[in-house]
Amino acid sequence: MLPPIQDGLLAATPGLTFAVAVDRNGYLPVHNKAYSQPQRPADVAWNTANCRNRRIFDDPVGLAAGRSTRAYLVQSYARDMGNGLKVRMREIDVPIRVGGGHWGGFRTAYKL
């Protein structure tokens, strides 16, 4: 259910780097297609940059994105892409509600 929504938004928004849903614990069930590549055994740098689905992003930014109930949350941070590479990002997050309850957040980000 999520890939068509996430990848559709990504394709329709120039400059957007990613668009994903996370739960309140930072769990990201499925990332955008570009970041959902098959893992390469023993290649931590490749996997960190390209295999980002089914991960828990429990760093302060990931948890804030999943737990915020404000109308929107803007965050700036250095995204770890493996092998020492950090990419500066600006993220805009909004809460996801399911059945009237807060489920998590929808994260959208741009490279700075």
Tell me the pLDDT tens digit for each residue of 15-28. 999 999 999 999 99
Structure letter (DSSP) for residue 112: -
Please report which helix (H) or strand (E) contains residue 55, including its range: strand 55-56
* Per-residue pLDDT at 59: 92
Pick the CATH number of 2-111 from 3.30.1600.10, 3.90.1010.10, 3.30.450.20, 3.40.720.10: 3.30.450.20
Spatial contact of 55 and 82, defined as CB atoms under 8 Å apart:
no
Q: How do residues 37-91 score in pLDDT, each as one tens digit?
A: 888 999 888 888 787 888 899 999 999 999 999 999 999 999 888 788 889 999 9
- Cα Dmax for the chain: 43
